[in-house]
Amino acid sequence: MQIDIKTDNVEPIRNTFAHVARRLGTDKVASRYQEGTLDIQSEINFHYRPLWDPDHEIFDRDRTAIKMEDWYAFRDPRQYYYGTWTIARSRQQDSMERNFSFVEKRELFNSLDDEWRQRVANVMLPLRHLEYGANLNNTYITAYGWGTAITQAANFAAMDRLGIAQYLSRIGLVMDGNSGELLDAAKQDWMESEAWQPLRQLVEDLLVVDDWFELYVAQNFALDGLMYPLIYQRFDQQMAAHGGAAIAMLTEFMVDWFAEHSRCVDAFLKTAANESAENKALLSEWARLWSARAAEALMPVATMGVGDEGFTTMAELQDALQTRGQKKAGLDM
């Protein structure tokens, strides 16, 4: 389309929205992340108290014990708003689609010996239920959190976790030729096998955590911070040594996702911890409490995955999480 407009005398009268300019300190051209995020949530003059929580406003700073002078101090290092998030994920899913068809076409699972094949099914497939719990927890944070900076990132994480639960389900279906038997067996393990009960209990306990920021720490820092390295690094390495290259292809999304997600989690925690000594103490306590529980709950899974090295592996991962908490997330652990 040809547009013939003389533009020489068309000067903008301002560069961004006034609430964005106030935050930037000056009226300069703002990014789409900034215009789509800053102050987008209503903060005052709510008309009615929620019937489901009459002690609070519809959105309420008091739904967490964390206190912030400015809830838009949080900044997603990925600068995700809906557009950038969904475009990034569409690229990743493209690549996953290619990986799945490659693995299926070449029947790459056949290179995995039977014992390891069973181990993959035993260790990875029940985790789709954990991912679903993580989806609900991040949806909770999206719903009841304060400030779009955090809540939108939680919404993306929630949908990412549903996506991961679905990728894990597909792995199960690829492995048994769509019979669904492996997924059924994995669910039975999740429900009944002794090894999975501490983890299932932890996931169920997280579903009733009231303080959304505590839940953020428990799920996104503590549990994920131990589970992802355990499964997608340690277990993955062992599999690779036993012909499990196919698995590495089908978990590419999870590996990339965790690296990216952790950057965001660390940035948010650091911002909150740097705000005040009270925040720091609270966040650190939550991180200690929930990572201890997560380590305990993951222990039997680690043994299943990496055998005798399970104990030392978990100890190393806990150390690594502690270092990450201190160095990157500004916590005392």
Residue in the block written with tokens 């039975």: 188
Cα–Cα dist 100/252, whole Å = 11
From candidates 63, 128, 261, 280, binder to another protein by CB under 8 A:
128
From candidates 24, 73, 162, 249, binder to another protein by CB under 8 A:
162
How many binding residues for another protein (CB under 8 A)?
89
Cβ distance to another protein smaller for residue 209 or 269:
209
Kind plus residue range of the DSSP H or E element containing 230: none
Which region among 91-99, 214-222, 240-248, 322-330 touches another protein (by CB under 8 A)?
Answer: 91-99
From candidates 28, 77, 93, 259, binder to another protein by CB under 8 A:
93
Smallest distance from another protein to CB 101, Å: 12
Within residues 208-247, the interface with another protein by CB under 8 A covers 208
Which region among 86-94, 115-123, 217-225, 280-288 touches another protein (by CB under 8 A)?
Answer: 86-94
Smallest distance from another protein to CB 71, Å: 14
Within residues 181-210, the interface with another protein by CB under 8 A covers 183, 187, 190-191, 200-201, 204-205, 207-208
From candidates 65, 70, 77, 178, binder to another protein by CB under 8 A:
178
Which region among 177-185, 227-235, 255-263, 293-301 touches another protein (by CB under 8 A)?
Answer: 177-185
Residue 303 burial (C-beta neighbours within 10 Å; 0-12, 13-18, 19+): middle
Cα–Cα dist 161/147, whole Å = 21
Kind plus residue range of the DSSP H or E element containing 73: none
Within residues 130-149, the interface with another protein by CB under 8 A covers 131-132, 135-136, 139-140, 142-144, 148
DSSP secondary structure string, 286-307? HHHHHHHHHHHHHHHHHHHHHG
Asked if 301 touches another protein (CB under 8 A), the answer is no
Of the candidates 243, 208, 221, 241, the one whose C-alpha atom is nearest the C-alpha of residue 289 is: 221
Asked if 177 touches another protein (CB under 8 A), the answer is yes
Cβ atoms < 10 Å from Cβ of 122: 19
Smallest distance from another protein to CB 162, Å: 5
Rounded to a whole number of angstroms, the CA Rg of the chain reads 22
Task: List, as own/partner pairs, every contact residues 63-66 make where C-beta atoms lie below 8 angstroms and the sequence separation is at least 24, other chains included.
Answer: 63/144, 63/145, 63/146, 63/211, 63/212, 64/145, 64/146, 64/211, 64/212, 64/213, 64/214, 65/211, 65/213, 65/214, 65/282, 66/213, 66/272, 66/279, 66/282, 66/283
Cβ distance to another protein smaller for residue 91 or 327:
91
Cβ atoms < 10 Å from Cβ of 28: 11
Smallest distance from another protein to CB 80, Å: 11
Which region among 75-83, 244-252, 271-279, 299-307 touches another protein (by CB under 8 A)?
Answer: 75-83
Smallest distance from another protein to CB 82, Å: 4
How big is the CA angle at 281 (ends 277 and 286), to the nearest 5 degrees? 150
Which region among 157-165, 228-236, 262-270, 295-303 touches another protein (by CB under 8 A)?
Answer: 157-165
Within residues 105-124, the interface with another protein by CB under 8 A covers 107
Asked if 98 touches another protein (CB under 8 A), the answer is no
93 Cβ neighbours under 8 A, 6+ residues apart: 163, 253
